């Protein structure tokens, strides 16, 4: 339903910019975006962050392989992102085509136990099949933001008499569409993070590593924020940049303290 709403936003933007013709173009673009995002969203996101496939004998591959076997999952592809900010995410359309990516920063920061907790969390997303929804949402939301920014700079190119529209409605679409896309992303992501935390702890057998990792990542991500595309922020295990005030309404993750409390409460 949420992905359908994201697609509907593309139609509304098309109608606001070009009337009936724009609505048709919005439909074609939405269909094309859904097709591309289903088959290629993982490659798009990995390329966006310059991810490089990890060596078979690397620490990342070793830990992911052991956890995937424990979780009864196919072996995911493993990638390293050349970033100092510590973070990680999973992507792909299904468990057979999953990929796990970790930054150089998180590999340096965390102990093996903590890294196991983080990677098990990502494999829980794979097992719960969250990765398709999250990856497609990232691609469609990025498209919505791109179109809205394009419209903002080029103004729709038509005045009221030529397109019979309302410039106030057009302006509202340009401003509100990216906000709506971010809110939908937030709903997709926040509702799944707690389940992935619990699922990851179950794979490892204890929440201790993930709790310790989340505490470290919360502090480190504020000190060294990741210059992430807002459309993909929900993919990461912890929000890649610090937000406060009104911007906090668009946070793609629940508060880290709440996640830790939930893990510790479940342990009791």
In a domain, 144, yes or no: no
pLDDT tens digits for range 59-80:
999 999 999 999 999 999 999 9
Residue identified by tokens 């005030």 is 245
Average pLDDT over the chain, rounded to an integer: 82
In a domain, 256, yes or no: yes
**Per-residue model confidence (pLDDT) at position 71:** 96
Which whole number is the average pLDDT over 34-49? 83
In a domain, 258, yes or no: yes
Percent of the chain with pLDDT over 70: 77
Strand runs labelled E in the chain: 52-53, 77-81, 88-91, 99-103
Sequence-distant (≥ 6) Cβ neighbours of residue 136 within 8 angstroms: 3, 34, 37, 38, 41
In a domain, 121, yes or no: yes
- Report the side by side order of strands in the sheet with 52-53: 52-53, 77-81, 99-103, 88-91
- pTM, full prediction: 0.76
Q: Which domain holds residue 219?
A: 40-136+178-267
Q: How confident is the model at residue 257 (pLDDT cuts 50, 70, 90)?
A: very high
In a domain, 32, yes or no: no
Provide the annotated active-site residues: 122
Domain count for the chain, please give it.
Answer: 1
In a domain, 243, yes or no: yes
Q: How confident is the model at residue 247 (pLDDT cuts 50, 70, 90)?
A: very low
In a domain, 154, yes or no: no
CATH code where residue 94 lies: 3.30.2010.10
Which whole number is the average pLDDT over 149-176? 58
Report the distance separating Cα 185 and Cα 212, nearest Å.
27
Q: How confident is the model at residue 228 (pLDDT cuts 50, 70, 90)?
A: confident
Strand runs labelled E in 76-154: 77-81, 88-91, 99-103
Q: Is the pLDDT of residue 242 over 60?
A: no
In a domain, 21, yes or no: no
**Per-residue model confidence (pLDDT) at position 23:** 77
């Amino acid at each position: 339903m949420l992905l359908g709403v994201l697609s509907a936003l593309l139609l509304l933007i098309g109608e606001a910019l070009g009337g009936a013709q724009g609505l048709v173009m919005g439909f074609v673009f939405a269909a094309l975006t859904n097709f591309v995002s289903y088959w290629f969203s993982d490659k798009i996101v990995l390329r966006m962050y310059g991810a490089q496939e990890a060596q078979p004998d690397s620490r990342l591959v070793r830990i992911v392989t052991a956890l995937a076997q424990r979780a009864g999952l196919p072996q995911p592809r493993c990638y390293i992102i050349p970033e100092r900010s510590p973070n990680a995410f999973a992507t792909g359309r299904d468990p057979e085509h999953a990929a796990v990516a970790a930054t150089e920063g998180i590999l340096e920061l965390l102990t093996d136990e903590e890294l196991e907790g983080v990677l098990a969390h990502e494999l829980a997303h794979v097992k719960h099949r969250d990765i398709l929804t999250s990856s497609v949402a990232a691609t469609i939301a990025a498209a919505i933001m791109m179109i809205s920014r394009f419209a903002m700079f080029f103004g729709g190119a038509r005045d009221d008499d030529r397109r019979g529209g309302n410039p106030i409605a057009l302006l509202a679409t340009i401003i509100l569409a990216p906000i709506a896309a971010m809110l939908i992303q937030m709903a997709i992501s926040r509702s799944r993070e707690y389940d992935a935390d619990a699922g990851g702890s179950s794979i490892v057998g204890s929440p201790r590593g993930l709790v310790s990792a989340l505490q470290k990542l919360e502090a480190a991500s504020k000190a060294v924020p990741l210059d992430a595309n807002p459309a993909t922020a929900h993919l990461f295990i912890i929000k890649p940049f610090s937000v406060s005030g009104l911007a906090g309404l668009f946070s793609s993750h629940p508060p880290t303290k709440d996640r830790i409390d939930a893990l510790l409460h479940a342990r009791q």
